Amino acid sequence: MDPKGWRLKLNDGHSIPVLGFGTYAPEEVPKSKATEATELAIDAGFRHIDCAHLYNNEKEVGQAIRSKIEDGTVKREDIFYTSKLWVTFLQPQLVQPALERSLKNLQLDYVDLYIIHSPVALKPGEELLPKDEHGKLMFDTVDLCATWEAMEKCKDAGLTKSIGVSNFNRRQLEMILNKPGLKYKPVCNQVECHPYLTQRKLLDFCKSKDIVLVAYSALGTQRLKQWVDQSSPVLLEDPVLCAMAKKYQRTPALIALRYQLQRGVVVLAKSYNEKRIKENVQPLVHSCVFFVVGSSSCGMWDAASAWSDEQCHVCAQDSNQRNTGPPAAERANLTTRPRGQPLCVVFLKCISRFF
């Protein structure tokens, strides 16, 4: 299928590919791997590339995008590139220079989506995670509405086509939406989201405001010791997920990715492994992995019905393949499992342990 067809319309008139390639990698991974993996992702069919200033690899990712444009694999307009405003640049006067720095690193004229990485500000400076003499993060006070106005100016200047947020809760979203003189609504809110952390209430709120939810860590919370309790269950080993994978002759990862697509959630898949990169694009290729259930379902299956056909072309595929999902007992079994650690509150404290 033509990847261009698998898009959601954004509230500003642009559209976003429903499946994205995440480019984050730990510091120990050579930066050259970001170029290699991004080229592999584009060759495999990914057209949505998600990156950030925090990842410290925009030069390498930009190199991969330009390489695939130069060899004729894609045109610039085929690629949907997302970058993020890091939290040391939330002061309004720092917003546009931060985006311009990303564009310089990428060697691109514009990004397709620029989002505020987190609503919690840190002290401005070159340090990604500024700390005091006691090793404590140095937070900053910032008016997010003023930051948003600076984001709007970036859109007006043509530096980005769309603007959005990440790791925002409902209250923080409402603060932006209710801002006097609001010119552009956030087109998206990127948050951790997977079957153990369905974000159902936040998803419902975002849909009601015509804001797209974008899921990261869609295959489960990162399991580094600094990040999550090692005794918590592993999503991709969940018996219900594995049973569905066996039924549909797919991997648990593909079931987890397709689950988000059918909820109307844009999903990011992150891997630098060639085999997994090719596997992760399969939800757009093999439409037989299409399952939905009734609105009375809960847990992993709540809100599994997709958005309208006008909003997401996924919804038009294989309606005759739909079924009622696993028995209620199986659904309940999944929903009683502990959830992963969400990042919306402890994002900065957790991420600081990696640097």
Confidence of residue 224 (pLDDT cuts 50, 70, 90): low
Contact assessment for residue 181 and residue 123, using Cβ atoms and an 8 Å cutoff: no
Q: String of b and e for 55-74 (b: at least 16 CB within 10 Å)?
A: bbbbebbbbbbeebbeeeeb
- For tokens 């010791």, name the residue: 225
Residue 343 is classified by DSSP as S
List domains and CATH numbers for the chain.
10-354 (3.20.20.100)
pLDDT tens digits, 152-205: 999 999 999 999 999 999 999 999 999 999 999 999 999 999 999 999 999 999
Give the range among 69-83, 95-109, 251-265 with minimum mean pLDDT.
251-265
Give the range among 6-15, 119-128, 330-339 with minimum mean pLDDT.
330-339
- The span from the CA of 17 to the CA of 78, in Å, is 10
The phi, psi pair for 7, rounded to 5°, reads -135, 155
Residues 6+ apart with CB under 8 A from 353: 226, 227
Residue 85 structure tokens: 């405003």
pLDDT tens digits, 262-314: 999 999 999 999 999 999 998 765 554 444 432 222 233 333 333 233 333 32
Share of the chain above pLDDT 90, in %: 72
- Where are the alpha helices (H) located in 45-143, listed in sequence order? 58-70, 92-106
The question of whether 55 is a catalytic residue gets the answer yes
Residue 205 structure tokens: 């709120």
The phi, psi pair for 112, rounded to 5°, reads -85, -30
- The span from the CA of 256 to the CA of 281, in Å, is 12
Indicate the pTM of the whole model. 0.83
pLDDT for residue 326: 33
| Of 55, 114, 259, 272, catalytic | 55
- Kindly tell me if the per-residue pLDDT of 346 is higher than 70: no
pLDDT for residue 284: 66
Contact assessment for residue 121 and residue 140, using Cβ atoms and an 8 Å cutoff: yes
Residue 61 structure tokens: 């990712």
Give me the chain's average pLDDT, please: 83
- The span from the CA of 334 to the CA of 290, in Å, is 19
- For tokens 């923080």, name the residue: 172
- For tokens 């930009």, name the residue: 62
